[in-house]
Chain A
C-alpha cells in the first residue's frame, strides 16, 4: 500500500496509466485484430442470423449472420486510422500556421486569426455535416470535414503558446547570439509545447472518433456494409433483445477508446 502510494505520488498519475492501457488495447485491436481474427467483415451467413457466441464467431453473429468480432476489429482499424489521419491533417497545418502567425504578427496574424474565428463560428460537427453533405457515405468528405473543423484548435493553441515563448529571454538571447529561426523553433519553442500537443492530439483523436461514430449512427457517415461502430449499433438496435452483445460490443469499444484518450490527456486544455 505504501509502495503504491509512493508510485502514485512520483510516477504518472494512476488515471493516466488506466487511460494508456485502454488506448493501447483498442489500438492493438485495430493493428493486429484483423490479422488474428480471420474472415471478411461483410461475409453474410443467413443460416446463422443472430446466432449467440460460438467457437467460430466468439461474439456471436449479427442480423445478417456476419461475425460481430470480425466486424468489431475491422471497425476498430477504421476508426483508429481515420482518427489518427484526421489529427495529423489538422495538426500539421495548425501548428505551422500558428507558428507563422506568432512569428510574423501584423497582418499575417490578423488574417489567419480571422479565418480561424470564421471556422469556429459554427459548431465543429455542423461544419463536418455540411462537407459530408457533398457525398454522404464517402470516406474523403468525412476526413476533409474533420480536419477542416479541427485545425483551428491547433492553430490557436500554437499561436498563443509560441507567442509567449518567442518573447521569452531565452529566445531573445538565442537571436542575439545569431541563431536562426530554425534553431529557435527546435531548441526553444517546440520542446516546450510538446506536452500541449500531446493533450490536443488525445482530445482531437477522441473527438474525431466520436464524430465518425455519431455520423454513422444517424445514417449520414459511412454507409453499410462498412464495419463501423456507430453503424453497427444502429443496425443492431432493432435486435438488442435477441443479441444484446452484438450491440453492446461496439458501444463498449468506442467508450473504452474515448475514456482512455480523455484520461491519458489529463485536463481539458481549453
Chain B
C-alpha cells in the first residue's frame, strides 16, 4: 500500500501549509489592526487617566512589541508550535479549551452531512441511472440542479420555515436533543448529496453501457445480479473523487450553517471571532477548520484507494 503512504504524506504537507498560512495571516492581522495594543493593555492596568507614554512603552517591551517584526513573528510561531493558542480576547478563556468543547459538535454535524452526501445522494443517483430518461431520472436531475444552485443559507431558512414553523415537526435552532441536528445536517448536506447523486447517476449509466456489463449478462447473470456486482463500486470511485474536490464546500458551509442554526461549533465561533476582532480565537478556529479540511481530504484519499485497486501501487 505505497499509495496510502504517499497520499498521507501529501496531506501532511498540506496540514503544514495550513498552519503556516493561518498563522502568517493572523500575525499580519494583529499588526494591521488599528490602535495601539500596548496602550490599551496599559490603560487596563493603570486606569485610563493615569496611563503615560512611558507605561505604554514598558508594556510594549514586556509584550516584545518593540522588537523587529520578524523576531515577533518567530515568537508567535514558537508559542503556536508548543500548542499555545493563547486566550480569547473576549471571554478570557483558553482558546484550546473552547475549541476542545466545540470540536465534537462540528465533527458531528459535518459527519452527518457527509453521510447524507455519501449514502442518500448516490443511492438515489443509482436508481435514477438504472432507467435513464425515466420519471425518477428526470425529476431527480431537475431537483439536483436546483439544490446545487441553492445558497446554503437560503436552503437553511427554507427548511426552518417549512419543517420548524409551518409543519412544526422539528426544532429550528438550539442544542438539546438528537432531533436538533436534523435541520442543520440537511442544510449542510443536501447540496453535496444532490451533486453526488448527479455524479452517481452518470457513473451508473456509464457502467451499465460498458462492455463488462454486457458480458456479465451474456454469462447468464440476471440484470439485478449484474447491477449488484458491477455498478456500486464503479459508481463509488467518481462519487468519492467528486467529494474530494468539493470538501471545501462542506467546510465553508459549516461556518454558515452553524451561525444560522446557533450550533455551538467551531464555524459559529469563527464568525463571532471575526466580528469581535478576537484574533487568538480567530487563529484557533481557522486552524481547526483548516485541519478538519485536511483530515477529511486524507479520509477520501484513503477511501478512493480502498475502493479502486487500479490506483494502488
Contacts and interface: CB of A to CB of B under 8 A. Distances in A.
B22 A122 contact: yes
B17 A219 contact: no
Contact-residue bracket for chain A: 35 or more
Contacts of B282: 130, 133
Contacts of B289: 123, 126
A6 interface: no
B252 A124 contact: yes
Interface in A236-270: 237, 240-241, 247, 251, 254-255, 258-259, 262-263, 270
Nearest to A130: B25
Given A259-B146, A263-B145, A125 B255 contact: yes
Interface stretch (B47-55, B150-158, B213-221, B227-235): B150-158
Contact of A126 (B20, B33, B290): B290
B119 interface: no
B18 A258 contact: no
A43 to B, nearest CB: 26
B74 interface: no
Main secondary structure of the interface of A (DSSP, over half): helix
B29 interface: yes
B290 A122 contact: yes
A237 B164 CA distance: 14
A2 B43 CA distance: 81
B32 A240 contact: no
Contacts of A132: 274
Interface in A208-231: 210, 213-214, 217-220, 230
Interface residues of B, number: 47
A45 interface: no
Interface string A121-144: 111111101111110100000000
B5 interface: no
Contact of A255 (B22, B150, B271, B274): B150
B305 interface: no
A24 to B, nearest CB: 16
B22 A133 contact: no
Interface in B20-44: 20-22, 25-26, 29, 32-33
Contacts of A133: 29, 274, 277, 282
A121 B21 contact: yes
Nearest to A259: B149
Contacts of B245: 270
Contacts of A233: 153-154, 157
A241 B164 CA distance: 13
A117 interface: yes
B106 interface: no
A176 interface: no
A129 B266 CA distance: 14
29 contacts: A117-B17, A118-B17, A118-B20, A118-B21, A121-B18, A123-B289, A126-B289, A126-B293, A129-B270, A129-B271, A129-B274, A130-B26, A130-B282, A130-B286, A133-B282, A206-B149, A214-B152, A214-B153, A214-B252, A233-B153, A233-B154, A237-B157, A251-B151, A254-B151, A255-B150, A255-B154, A258-B149, A259-B149, A263-B145
Interface of B: 14-15, 17-18, 20-22, 25-26, 29, 32-33, 145-146, 148-154, 157-158, 161, 165, 245-249, 251-252, 255-256, 259-260, 270-271, 274-275, 277, 282, 286, 289-290, 293-294
